[in-house]
Structure 1
Amino acid sequence: MNLAVDATAPGTGGGGRFSHGWRIVAALAVTQTIGYGVLYYAFSVFLVPMSRDLRASGTQVAAALTLAVLTTALCAPLAGRWLDARGGRGLMTAGSVLGTAALLAWSRVESLPQLYAVFLAVGVASAMVLYEPAFAVIVTWFDSRRRADALLAVTIVAGFASSIFLPLTGLLVEWYGWRQALVILAVIYGVFAIPLHALIVRRPKTATTKPTRRADLVRAAVRARPFWFLVAAFTAHGGAVAVIGVLLVTYLIHLGHSPVFAATVAGLLGVLSVTGRLVTTGLRRRWAAAPVAAAVFAVQGLGALLLPVVGESAAGAVGCVLLFGIGFGVGTITLPYLVAERYGTAAYASLSGRIAMFSVADKAVAPLAAMALAQAVGYGWVMGAVALACVAAAFALVAYDRL
């Protein structure tokens, strides 16, 4: 059963290359790149100097980021309802202000309780400004023909967030110390994100859906099996990707590779995430999105399964990372496409927020569970669990496609 009620007027986003929809895409490409760079990826660079200054263990400090991700997950449904009712301008502008303030407060923390309080704010801000709200804005501006291209454009640019901000943050910490580096990153984020969200983001001039009708759409969706197949697929896949993202370097070193080799190979994931998005979007022009993503997820499962078997050789390690990396960013662009395709745009953000509550939470919890599993029974079992999660995600998408 297809519940689609599309609030996007015919031709919206298709009014030419320089339509306002594409200006929004350009603005969000910038804000997502900087947002992920400073609100998420930069944390790993600050981990060691923060631990030293706060006189805390790395685990205690890292817990702050886990807290932020869980907070983002809990806030996702509320942010989704706001976006469906009022659009993205107010929410994303306020989130940019909150994110900037949180970064400045982070630069002044003197204890773990203060750090955790700051990262509660970072988590709330992330729910207001990162991919889920950005995608909700985009799907309301573009019809089904242009939507995939618009999502791809944003994620290709934002896919380089780690490549830009990890080295940049490292240089800032080396030159100015971690506290002053945070102030500089806060200024960069605020200068770009606040005005771009406030001045560029807005709702298309289309008929709005009444709240009661939108609530009916959400209730009908969550009572049917397709919605829960989406939840299962992208929760399982998101957890698998998070585990590889966190543990790959450690596992490659465990297999006998040098730290430099391990870091270099792991660095391929960022480039491959962009490649995978391009390939998947191209394949989607000929085949349905769900089976294409399912095939990619299955290939990832094969890569994870083979890594303990052939990963001790350099060629084997690179080959397995290539297999897994090709799908590293595929879930990011496939989920919004599938939700808008089946359910339309009228309640897109509400439904996306409900899915994110599960998938984002799993991204926070799965690496911790994987580390515990590795300590208990070894990394080989972790890779087996990652492979199983990818295959489960693939089967869930196949089942979704058949309903």
Structure 2
Amino acid sequence: MSNDLAAQHRPALFHRAWTVAVIACLTIVAAAAFAAMPGVLVDPLHTEYGWSRASIGAAASVNMTVYGLIAPFAAALMDRFGLRRIAMTALVTIVVGAGLTTVMTDVWQLTLYWGLLIGAGTGSLSMTFAATVANRWFVRRRGLVIGALTGSSAFGQLVFLPALAWIVDHQGWRPALVTLALTAGTMIVLIALLLRDHPADLGQRPYGATAFVERPKADQGAARRTLRVLYGSVRDRRFWLLAGTFAVCGATTNGIMWTHFVPAAQDAGMAMTAAASLVSMIGVFALVGTVLSGWLTDRFDPRPLLVGYYAGRALLLAALPALLGPDSGAVIVSWVVLFGLLDVATVPPTILLCRRVFGADGAIVFGWVNAVHQVGAGAMAVFGGFTRDMTGGYGPVWLLAAALCAVAAVAVYGLTPTAARTGDPAKA
């Protein structure tokens, strides 16, 4: 009898949740690939239009900020209108923004098309999208799925870089954008055919659930709920600890590594394609590191994991200025592997902590935490470009990034492992 009950509660070998997770993964990859472009656009736009690196960095900063600010509203809109509708709308917005960017003539247009439109589209398909998919479709393996989906974001942002750099070198930057736009268009078709909003739509339970879960009633006031959750969470110091440490994460990944690593490597005598390949390797190992981090988060307290991730990143960033050069060889490759493993590993523990502290509102709270992440990224992108224009190098930026990571490692200890404020069990 007990064996029969165990069999009933054991998840099926194949569950539709895995199809949804794969489509979500590909969607995130397609959208995230656009975040790889600023690193290879800086020099071509500076050469063609004469725009300063600081102004190009400002457009990238707007993109990152809008990316972050739209995410919590996107999470609430997914609750209101469904995953599929929001994902398709976001990809259409990305395609339109990319098309308009290819015909721009002034830097304010780069800010509008790349910063606003593509920022809004990619932000709607960011980590909150991953958290929503995982929370709706999975009970078991939730941390692992979050790790895989958030890792696919870094993978998409970085693995395209060698191909994009080759296209920019041989065909120009506009064909590279068109290639990404076609990729996003392909995903619109796949989403329409295969992505579903909730297991209940198919008469299924979430993967690993022991009982059927009804689809929640649509929230008619998505924007009001998003702001209400923000108002409630900002009065909790744990929100600011999560947001502050995640801002450091953004500053030391999107803000500097993904925006300025390629130009910094070129300054050190490295070819663009070689530098882009190194950043691409970061993306590959970021996927590995984030999946591993998700697995660890399912089994251990997220806080010591975060301490280790930030401390390790601090040491690596402090060492980088001495390692960059045209003949770095195996040393820089080893550095890339280690940084990649830590690059996005902070995401699964942060998402799980948001869920444990804020319960059913955890995805929206994480959206706001992610917004602060992007503010940190945007600030560092501008600071990096400004420092390069003023000093002719990036040395001070790497050292500042290392110091911020050290502070974040210490700040994580301020978080306390408590049950969800809303009554949601901590293990949810």
Q: TM-score if structure 1 supplies the norm length?
A: 0.81
Q: How does 1:150-229 map to 2 (within 5 A)?
A: 150-173=145-168, 177-196=172-191, 199-205=194-200, 206-208=214-216, 219-229=231-241
Q: How does 1:4-403 map to 2 (within 5 A)?
A: 15-37=11-33, 39-54=34-49, 56-119=51-114, 120-143=116-139, 145-173=140-168, 177-196=172-191, 199-205=194-200, 206-208=214-216, 219-241=231-253, 242-249=255-262, 258-259=270-271, 266-307=279-320, 314=328, 321-344=336-359, 346-373=360-387, 375=390, 379-401=394-416
Equivalent-residue separation in structure 2 for 1:264 and 1:176 (angstroms): 18
Counterpart position of 1:3:
none
Aligned residue pair count:
388
User: How far did residue 188 of structure 1 move?
Assistant: 2.4
Equivalent-residue separation in structure 1 for 2:176 and 2:321 (angstroms): 39
What SS is found at the alignment partner of 1:95? helix
What SS is found at the alignment partner of 1:109? coil
Equivalent-residue separation in structure 2 for 1:88 and 1:226 (angstroms): 28
CA 1:376–1:55 in 2, change beyond 3 Å: closer, same or farther?
closer
CA 1:64–1:14 in 2, change beyond 3 Å: closer, same or farther?
farther
Equivalent-residue separation in structure 2 for 1:217 and 1:326 (angstroms): 32
Judge which range, 240-249 or 226-235, deviates more.
Answer: 240-249
Aligned partner letter, 1:152: G
Aligned partner letter, 2:370: A
Equivalent-residue separation in structure 2 for 1:118 and 1:258 (angstroms): 30
User: How far did residue 356 of structure 1 move?
Assistant: 2.0
Aligned partner letter, 1:41: A
Residue segments in structure 2 that go unaligned for 5+ positions in a row: 1-8, 201-213, 419-428
Contact 2:159 2:283 in 1 (8 A): no
Aligned partner letter, 1:274: L
Aligned partner letter, 2:402: A
Contact 1:277 1:329 in 2 (8 A): yes
**In the TM superposition, what whole-angstrom CA distance separates every residue of 1:73-104 from its partner, at most 9, and x where no partner exists?**
33233223323434322221111111112222
Aligned partner letter, 1:275: V
Residue segments in structure 1 that go unaligned for 5+ positions in a row: 1-12
Equivalent-residue separation in structure 2 for 1:116 and 1:257 (angstroms): 30
Aligned partner letter, 2:77: W
Judge which range, 26-35 or 163-172, deviates more.
Answer: 163-172
Aligned partner letter, 1:186: A
Counterpart position of 1:8:
none
User: How far did residue 364 of structure 1 move?
Assistant: 1.2
What SS is found at the alignment partner of 1:42? helix
Equivalent-residue separation in structure 2 for 1:52 and 1:376 (angstroms): 19
**In the TM superposition, what whole-angstrom CA distance separates every residue of 1:217-267 from its partner, at most 9, and x where no partner exists?**
65543322222211111112221223234444555676x665577666555
CA 1:198–1:290 in 2, change beyond 3 Å: closer, same or farther?
farther
Judge which range, 329-338 or 356-365, deviates more.
Answer: 329-338
CA 1:303–1:18 in 2, change beyond 3 Å: closer, same or farther?
same
CA 1:106–1:21 in 2, change beyond 3 Å: closer, same or farther?
same
**In the TM superposition, what whole-angstrom CA distance separates every residue of 1:319-352 from its partner, at most 9, and x where no partner exists?**
65555443111123332222223323x3233212
**In the TM superposition, what whole-angstrom CA distance separates every residue of 1:183-216 from its partner, at most 9, and x where no partner exists?**
3432221122354157413134325268599677
What SS is found at the alignment partner of 1:202? coil
CA 1:121–1:169 in 2, change beyond 3 Å: closer, same or farther?
same
Judge which range, 126-135 or 98-107, deviates more.
Answer: 126-135
CA 1:267–1:90 in 2, change beyond 3 Å: closer, same or farther?
closer
Counterpart position of 1:7:
none
What SS is found at the alignment partner of 2:197? coil
Equivalent-residue separation in structure 1 for 2:85 and 2:19 (angstroms): 17
State the identity as a percent.
23
CA 1:135–1:53 in 2, change beyond 3 Å: closer, same or farther?
same
Q: TM-score if structure 2 supplies the norm length?
A: 0.77
Contact 1:300 1:325 in 2 (8 A): no
User: How far did residue 115 of structure 1 move?
Assistant: 3.0
Counterpart position of 2:423:
none
User: How far did residue 361 of structure 1 move?
Assistant: 1.5
CA 1:124–1:246 in 2, change beyond 3 Å: closer, same or farther?
closer
Aligned partner letter, 1:243: I
**In the TM superposition, what whole-angstrom CA distance separates every residue of 1:270-301 from its partner, at most 9, and x where no partner exists?**
23323322432343354212211211211111
Contact 1:89 1:201 in 2 (8 A): yes
Contact 2:318 2:399 in 1 (8 A): yes
What SS is found at the alignment partner of 1:201? coil
Counterpart position of 1:6:
none
Contact 2:384 2:397 in 1 (8 A): yes
CA 1:109–1:88 in 2, change beyond 3 Å: closer, same or farther?
same
Equivalent-residue separation in structure 1 for 2:322 and 2:37 (angstroms): 33
